[in-house]
A and B are shown apart, each in its own frame.
Chain A
Amino acid sequence: MKKTMMGNFAASWGAQLSRAQVIAAYPITPQTLIVEKLSEIVADGKLDAEFIKVESEHSAMSACIGASATGARAYTATSAQGLALMHEMLHWAALGRLPIVMANVNRAMAPGWSIWADQNDSLSQRDTGWMQIYASSAQDILDSTMLAYKVSEQVLLPTFISFDAFFLSHTVEVVDMPEQEEIDKFLPPFNPEYKMDVKDPRSFGALTDQQYYYEFRYKMQNAMDEAVDVIKEAGKEYEEITGRRYDLVQPYKCEDADLILVTSGTIAETTNVAVDRLREQGKKVGNLKIRVIRPYPKTDILKTVEGAEKIAVIDRNISNGYHGIFSQELKGALYNETDIPVWGLIAGLGGRDVKVEDIIEMADKTLESDSPQDIRWEGVKR
């Protein structure tokens, strides 16, 4: 059934369709609508879930950890400073191997106080052991929620779905809602082998000495590696139900491209339009949207960029003191594998609009350039 909805509500309905059993959240702009809608859904009896109001995001994640450890399907949502406050518990959820799913609305970190789109919040959590999805449409947010539970519960790692503040969280789009019956078949109840259970008492996360901690990190890495295939399998199965295919990357007109732009989030959608216009001018440009950054889709990226002459990564984030984060990750993946030059472009920090014309200009500048750059500040007022 097709409906019009804001990106935020797509997240709420994704949690409802996934039959989340425990929802614990603290409000923060621009995430608030997600949990407001969920509290309504639970209060109306449309979803059989515990809705826990907490005093902070640290507590929200802690409540989800407790719930997930008992085998419940747990959900939360946050943004920027809220995600940062969760940081300690993000590690706890991942190393505890708890398949919690969360929506994170990408918002710039303060100060200066900002509520607008920027990926530095979620990318600061890159090494916590969470799988990270970057959605670029409301449909993507809804579908990714179900897909995230499907994958998370198989590999026992949590997932968050990030999407841009306001450009996506507060923009209304047409979304195709799958039938509950179909989702129930796709996503059966969660029943983990190890859980907090009075009939099988055990301690979780207790003191682990030098002899065994290392092995748990090793097992987590294996789970991330396995997740690459599990994401692909889940994507295929989901396509059979809905006709929509999801993968770790989404290439657009990359096959014969001289220049491949590498993007994520809403900039990816804008770039598809820019690519069409550039193609009309006879310029062979493609767009590689990175949908999942953890696990890192190295094989898919190498396969897609093979044959390209140039790559330009557009980052709505910056690791100050080094480069854009998607750009440094991509360069790391290409090293030893190809010698395609890479340009690192910074754009749209703090929610500054990145328009189709801006992307066309970025592509043109890169096509004309002979010397790759680690960092090029697009649209900065010097």
Chain B
Amino acid sequence: MAKKFRTDGKPVKVSGAKDLPPMQASLGLMTHNKTGSWRNVKPVINYEKCINCFVCWKFCPEPAIKIEDEKPVVDYDYCKGCMMCAEECPVDAIDMEEEGK
């Protein structure tokens, strides 16, 4: 293989085995897969209560909580609604709202 195989987040297009690396390496970078559509409940941060401790950012398993302008912001493209942030928030500043209302 002349060039190292990469997909850079795009869906895979190869003609066959000869184009693939020996192992599944970087075929499955999932940024193109917007997992936010799996969500049943949606975390909404109440910035009046938020103390900017970033516990939500630390615990988010995705990670779907980003830091913007020194505040935690939910990335709804990838948040699956696991509620871990709401559970861990020490000041109960995250409300879970039902999706599709």
Contact = CB atoms under 8 A, between A and B. Distances in A.
Interface stretch (B13-21, B36-44, B78-86): B13-21
Contact of B4 (A194, A208, A215, A216): A194
Contact of B30 (A194, A200, A203): A203
Interface string B19-43: 0111111111110000000000000
Contact of A194 (B14, B22, B28, B29): B22
Contacts of A215: 16-17, 20
Tier of interface size on chain A: 20 to 34
A205 B24 contact: yes
A216 B16 CA distance: 10
A372 B14 CA distance: 51
Q: Interface extent on B, as a size class?
A: 10 to 19
A193 interface: yes
A380 interface: no
Main secondary structure of the interface of A (DSSP, over half): loop
Contacts of B24: 95-96, 204-206, 208, 212, 216
Contacts of A219: 17, 20, 22
A91 B72 CA distance: 40
Contact of B23 (A200, A205, A218, A222): A205
B12 interface: yes
Contacts of A211: 12
Chain A CB within 10 Å — which of B6, B17, B20, B23 has the most? Answer: B23
Given A203-B29, A203-B30, A212-B14, A194 B23 contact: yes
A214 B15 CA distance: 13
A11 B25 CA distance: 32
A216 B28 contact: no
Contact of A212 (B20, B26, B29): B20
